[in-house]
Amino acid sequence: MADNNTIKRTEQAELTPAAGVASYEQVQKEHKAYFNIVKKRYLWFALSALLLIPSIISLAVQGLNLGIDFTGGTMLDIQFNQKVTQAQITESLDSVGLTGQVQLSQEDTEALIRTEALDPEKRDALLASIKENAGEFDSEKLGEDLVGPAIGAELRTNAFKALIVATILILAYVTLRFRLIYAIGGIVALAHDILITLGIFSIFQWQVEAAFIAAILTVFGYSINDTVVIYDRMRENEKRLKKRDSYEDMVDKSVWQSMERSVKTSMTVLIALFAIFILGGASTKVFALAMIIGVTTGTYSSIFIASQIVVELRKRFRVNITKKEAQV
């Protein structure tokens, strides 16, 4: 025979929001910080607009600060006979009027320098300055690559195509798994996340490298995954929705039932990303920074935008979401 503690735990489990059968009132009592998210949806739309409007304006006016992966440039791989510092390499670049990215490896004895396209005269001046400020290096092992503007343009085109294909596939997936109205909400949330991420990079003119594209595509997958979790809960609760019940309350209940999972998952991801950003090398900082912004906005949009778009579309266009609504 089960003891009293086991019976209590079983009864408590049956009342938890995760079980899917909890009433709206039970969900409200379960969360101490509860407030009605759906009824405040216009506030969330306004907060998003405060970020989206300057982001779009900045993208239109000054665009993105594209690195040499997109615009073309020179990459030098220099192996030194001693340890060097980023400050020494940066000082060498400044002395000949250049800017660029510096990445050290091999216990600070190898430097990877990315800068604008260099003609032979400018290249020789830079190498002479590096030798003067940082010390001797192995000229025979000097690596030099030139990324032409045509390659950069092709990379931009392919990145844009990848985003379009990803959007179409996500739209098709969510439509088939749920309904078109859900897919529209998901795509709006994705556009929201990507525009804000791009906009912040544009506003602060942080340099965009190839790793940034990988981060954007990763944000695509992360954001829609978080949204689908909430959509799944909405679909489960729709099956129990009666004609007299409020659809907005059902969505609000579904969001709160998914809240803890979404927030905890995002926090663990952000902890890892901040560790990469702070402790990682220069080559990983752009990826980590873009991911930090994307994961943050993705979590926000999954909770406060995607499901609210579904509610708003249903209200404005009087869309019948469930078969039960037509039958009851």
**Is domain 73-147 annotated with CATH 3.40.640.10?**
no
**Same-fold call for 22-66+151-327 versus 73-147:** no
Q: Write the pLDDT tens digit of every residue in 24-60.
A: 888 888 888 889 999 999 999 999 999 999 999 999 9
In this predicted structure, the answer to whether residue 287 has a pLDDT above a threshold of 70 is: yes
SS3 breakdown of the chain: % helix, strand, coil, rounded to 5? 70, 10, 20
pLDDT given at position 301: 95
State phi, psi for 253 to the nearest 5 degrees.
Answer: -60, -45
pLDDT given at position 208: 86
In this predicted structure, the answer to whether residue 326 has a pLDDT above a threshold of 60 is: no
Summarize the confidence of residues 182-189 as an average pLDDT.
Answer: 92
**In 10 A of CB 160, how many CB atoms?**
11
- Map out the domains of the chain as residue ranges: 22-66+151-327, 73-147
Q: Write the pLDDT tens digit of every residue in 199-229.
A: 999 999 898 887 888 898 888 888 888 899 9
Q: Which of 20-29, 181-190, 260-269 has the lowest mean pLDDT?
A: 20-29
Q: Give me the helices (H) in the chain, please.
A: 4-15, 24-30, 41-61, 68-71, 86-95, 120-134, 149-177, 180-204, 210-238, 247-279, 282-301, 307-317, 323-327
Hey, which residues does 201 pair with through a beta bridge? Answer: none
C-alpha to C-alpha distance for 300 and 318, rounded to whole angstroms: 26
CATH of domain 22-66+151-327: 1.20.1640.10
C-alpha to C-alpha distance for 181 and 205, rounded to whole angstroms: 36
